[in-house]
Structure 1
Amino acid sequence: MAQQAETARTERPQATAAPRKRQARGERRMAELLRAAGEVFAQSGYSAATTNAIAARAGVSPGTLYQYFPNKDAIADAVAEQYTTELRAVMDSVLGSAPQGMPLPELLDVIIDPLVAFHIAHPACIVLFVGPDSPQHLTELHLPLHAAMLERIGALLAVLAPQLPAERLQRSAEVAVHMFKGVMPLVLASAPQDRPAYVAELKLTFEGYFGLLLDLP
């Protein structure tokens, strides 16, 4: 009896090891599929992307992909949710507070560089959220984050230019967000060795716009 009890104790951890390994493999496979889907959406656009192309990019069969996602819409939803969570974290980090006394060019480095790095690492972000063929529900998923970004930028400008009325700060925040989204496709489409030059042009645009804005009476 004692020997049987000891055998049961030694076998019990082994019984749970296999499900944990399968779960870890499943999580890795899920991450691989989401990464591949982001690359395919970025390259082909939402409408032209196919589950076969995503499976091929991930190095799995279509049947394996369907074990995790029933269709392309479900994959896009998962990618969009991941992007939303991660982008909010980046936004909270770079727009959480305005460093006091920091020169405008340095402030733009602090804000723009992490946001550009995020979009380079998540190339389908613009395609899924503001692309011309993006499904309406994905655009709506992005709206709370978009509103939060406008609020954060408006608050930052209020610190930098307290003399400006609230409605002017709100309009300027809207312009700033659309400027960034408008230029990012150009940055992403450029060759890696050319991207720093395009990012520098983006910062120069913001420096000129914000510089004039902060000098307004």
Structure 2
Amino acid sequence: MPDTAESRGESPEKEQPRRRQARGERRIAQLLEAAASVFCTTGYTAASTNAIAREAGVSPGTLYQFFPNKEAIAIELGGRLMHEMRETYGEALTPVDPATPLEEAVDAAVDRLIAFNCEHPVFFALMHGPDIPGRIAEQHDALHTTLLSRIEDVLISFLPAAPPADLTRTAHMCFGIYKSGLELILGHEGAERDAYVQELKDVLIRYLEPLAGDRLGKG
């Protein structure tokens, strides 16, 4: 039996709004995907709604049915990306067993975070641009604060005796190293990208090993 409103005991009047909503959601996804491509290519400042519509293969009028301007598109895209990023760092930056080798912990965290950014390069382009919308900047600042807190949660397993101020400073340094490495990683592809990922891991491990020396000596 065909899957129709009548076969489900529903009226056609209820079915039509759902279909329109589904079409609208697909169109929004199409526009956001196009915006991500344009933002990566030109940056947020130089991007335009006309360029986004052209990339999506629709008219500017169709775009304006869903978004009033470029900022609204960026805010929607940024919000969705930050939601995914929170899930990613929730998996990547969980407290580790004190018996976990430092190298293993660094590998796991870096691999997950790098994979997200390589899958969504627009995240870096949008979040680190000079003229991102204020609402995105505020959300990114909140994300940054939470991310640093999660890094501290991981570090405490390796630096159990570190004073809070030292732990915070170390977390900031790790995050700074990661962000610098990420920009280089995203600028390369293939084997060269893999090599930069390994370089980033090596730098983090060599930075943290002396700080965690006492703990590692007991292992």
Relative to the length of structure 1, the TM-score reads 0.88
Within the candidate set 125, 128, 131, 1:127 is matched to 125
Change (3 A) 1:216 1:72: farther
Contact in 2 for aligned 1:161/1:214 (Cα 8 Å): yes
2:34 equivalent to 1:45: no
Change (3 A) 1:211 1:194: same
Which residue of 1 is the match for residue 151 of structure 2? 153
2:180 equivalent to 1:182: yes
- The residue identity in structure 2 corresponding to 1:201 is E
For structure 2, list consecutive stretches of 5 or more residues without a partner in the other structure.
Answer: 1-5
Kindly indicate which of the two structures has a greater share of residues assigned to helix.
1
Aligned residue for 1:194, secondary structure, equals helix
For structure 1, list consecutive stretches of 5 or more residues without a partner in the other structure.
Answer: 1-8
Change (3 A) 1:13 1:124: same
Shift of 1:12: 4.3
Contact in 2 for aligned 1:108/1:207 (Cα 8 Å): yes
What do the CA deviations read for 1:19-69 (whole angstroms, capped 9, x no partner)? Answer: 222211211111121122122112211111111121122222211111110
Query: In structure 2, how many angstroms separate the alpha carbons of the residues matched to 1:49 and 1:68?
Result: 17
Query: In structure 1, how many angstroms separate the alpha carbons of the residues matched to 2:190 and 2:35?
Result: 21
What do the CA deviations read for 1:126-181 (whole angstroms, capped 9, x no partner)? Answer: 22222233334322221111111111111211121112111011011111112212
Query: In structure 2, how many angstroms separate the alpha carbons of the residues matched to 1:193 and 1:25?
Result: 40
Q: 1:44-193 counterparts in 2 under 5 A? A: 44-193=42-191
Deviates more, 1:191-200 or 1:46-55: 191-200
Shift of 1:193: 4.1
Contact in 2 for aligned 1:128/1:139 (Cα 8 Å): no
Contact in 1 for aligned 2:78/2:136 (Cα 8 Å): yes
Query: In structure 2, how many angstroms separate the alpha carbons of the residues matched to 1:91 and 1:198?
Result: 20
Shift of 1:97: 2.0
Contact in 2 for aligned 1:91/1:115 (Cα 8 Å): yes
- The residue identity in structure 2 corresponding to 1:207 is I
Query: In structure 1, how many angstroms separate the alpha carbons of the residues matched to 2:102 and 2:29?
Result: 38
Shift of 1:191: 2.2
- The residue identity in structure 2 corresponding to 1:131 is G
Query: In structure 2, how many angstroms separate the alpha carbons of the residues matched to 1:83 and 1:12?
Result: 36
What do the CA deviations read for 1:67-118 (whole angstroms, capped 9, x no partner)? Answer: 1100001011111111111111111111122134221222112111111111
Q: Percent of aligned positions with the same letter in both sequences?
A: 41
After superposition, the CA RMSD in angstroms is 2.1
Which residue of 1 is the match for residue 210 of structure 2? 212
Shift of 1:199: 0.9
Query: In structure 1, how many angstroms separate the alpha carbons of the residues matched to 2:134 and 2:195?
Result: 34
Which residue of 2 is the match for residue 31 of structure 1? 29
Aligned residue for 1:132, secondary structure, equals coil
Query: In structure 1, how many angstroms separate the alpha carbons of the residues matched to 2:144 and 2:88?
Result: 13
Change (3 A) 1:212 1:58: farther
Query: In structure 2, how many angstroms separate the alpha carbons of the residues matched to 1:192 and 1:38?
Result: 21
